[in-house]
Amino acid sequence: MVTASAPGKVILFGEHAVVYGEPAIAAAIDKRIFVSIEGRSDDEIIITSSHELRDGYPYVKAAAELTFEYLGNRQGLDISIDAEFPPASGLGSSAAVSVATILATATLLGREVGLKDLARLGHQVEKRVQGSASITDSSVTTFGGVLFIKPRLEITEKIKTANIPLVVGYTGKGGSTKELVNNVRMLRDSYPEVVDPIIHTIGGITLAAKKTLKEEEDIGGLMNINHGLLEALGVGTARLSQYVYSARKAGALGAKITGAGGGGCMIAYVPQNQDEVVSVIEGLGGLAMKVSIESEGARIERG
C-alpha cells in the first residue's frame, strides 16, 4: 500500500482580483488530505472516504485516469481518503486530493513524478472536472509554503517568511466559487469604472503584503483593507463579517474572507491568544481551526 498526502490552502491576499490578472498570495496549511492506494487484481477503481467529498469522487477518478494516461500504464485500485479539514469549504480539498492521488498512483506503479509535473497534472485534473481552474490550489498543495501567484504568466514564486499563525473560521457551508466569480463579473460589467479600480487596488494590497511578509512584519492591517474591498465586491456575508469583527475584537491583528466568500471561510491573523479567537468563532456557531503555514507540499507518507 502507498499513502501520499497533500496540504490544504488559504488565500492570504488577492482572491477575485486574481481572476482579472492581479497577483495573489496563497499559503499551504498544516491540515492534509491522505490518499492510500492498493492494487487490485481486476481493473476497477473503488474509492472510500472518511468524509463525503463533493459530488462523489470526480477528482479522485480523474486524477487516477490522468496518471494512467501520463504513465501509459493502468491497473485496478482500491483508494481510501482521509481528510484533516472539511471538503468543499474553500480550503483546497479538490486540488489536495487530486495531487495526492496522482502521487500515490504513480508511486504504486513504481514511477517517480517531479513536483513540476505533479502541479501541472493536478491543474489538469481540476480543469477536466470543473471546466476551468486557476493554478493557485494545485501549485500550493504541490509545493507547500507561501506562494506569490502571477496569473498572467501562470507562474508562482515561493515567498520566504516566518510562520504566520492563523485561525480559520468555517461557516459550515461553502459558497459556490463559480457563482461568486460570476457575480463579481456582473458587478464589473455594470460599473467598470468603479469596480476596476477596486480590483487593481486589491492587486496593490497583494504587492504590499509580499514586501511585508518578506520583512516578517504585521500583515493584519493589509488583511483588513483587503476584507473591506472583498465586501465592496459583494462576496461577503453577515456571518463572515460577524466572525471577522469578533476575531479582531478578541485579539486578531487582522481578519478577512479567504477564498471565494459567500459563506466558506475567513482567516484571522493571530500571533497571540489564538484560543480566544477560536472560542469566539465557535461561540458564534462556526468551526474554528488553529493553522500554521506548512512548508512541505505533497509527499509520500508510506510506501
CB of 44 to ligand PMV, least distance (A): 31
Q: Is 18 a residue that touches ligand PMV (CB under 6 A)?
A: yes
Q: Which stretch binds ligand PMV (CB under 6 A): 16-24, 43-51, 220-228, 247-255?
A: 16-24
Site map (CB under 6 A) of ligand PMV, residues 251-280, x = contact: --------xx---x----------------
Subset of 194-253 contacting ligand PMV (CB under 6 A): none
List the one residue from 4, 12, 13, 16 that touches ligand PMV (CB under 6 A): 16
CB of 246 to ligand PMV, least distance (A): 21
Q: Is 284 a residue that touches ligand PMV (CB under 6 A)?
A: no
d(CA 29, CA 93): 11
Query: Could you give the C-alpha distances from 67 to 122, 129, 206, 218, in angstroms and in order?
Result: 10, 15, 35, 42
> What region does 92 belong to: left with phi over 0, alpha with psi -120 to 50, or beta?
left
d(CA 135, CA 155): 8
Name, in order, each residue with C-beta under 8 angstroms of 230's C-beta and a sequence gap of 6 or more.
Answer: 15, 16, 202, 236, 256, 257, 261
Give the nearer residue to ligand PMV in terms of CB position, either 23 or 254: 23
Site map (CB under 6 A) of ligand PMV, residues 160-179, x = contact: -----------------x--
d(CA 283, CA 169): 11
Give the nearer residue to ligand PMV in terms of CB position, either 22 or 45: 22
CB of 90 to ligand PMV, least distance (A): 3
List the one residue from 5, 136, 141, 171 that touches ligand PMV (CB under 6 A): 136
Q: Which of 137, 189, 218, 275 is catalytic?
A: 137
Cβ neighbours of 279 (radius 10 Å):
12
Backbone φ and ψ for 252, nearest 5 degrees, come out as -65, 140
Clarify whether 137 is annotated catalytic.
yes
Q: Is 86 a residue that touches ligand PMV (CB under 6 A)?
A: no
CB of 75 to ligand PMV, least distance (A): 32
What does the angle CA 187 – CA 192 – CA 194 come to, to the nearest 5 degrees?
Answer: 90
CB of 157 to ligand PMV, least distance (A): 17
CB of 87 to ligand PMV, least distance (A): 12
DSSP assignment of 65-86, as one string? HHHHHHHT----EEEEEEESS-
Give the nearer residue to ligand PMV in terms of CB position, either 145 or 174: 174
Query: Could you give the C-alpha distances from 43 to 49, 61, 63, in angstroms and in order?
Result: 20, 13, 16
What does the CA dihedral 201, 207, 213, 219 come to, rounded to 10 degrees? -10
Residues of this chain that interact with ligand PMV (CB under 6 A) are: 11, 15-16, 18-19, 90, 92, 134, 136, 177, 181, 259-260, 264
Q: Which of the residues are catalytic?
A: 137
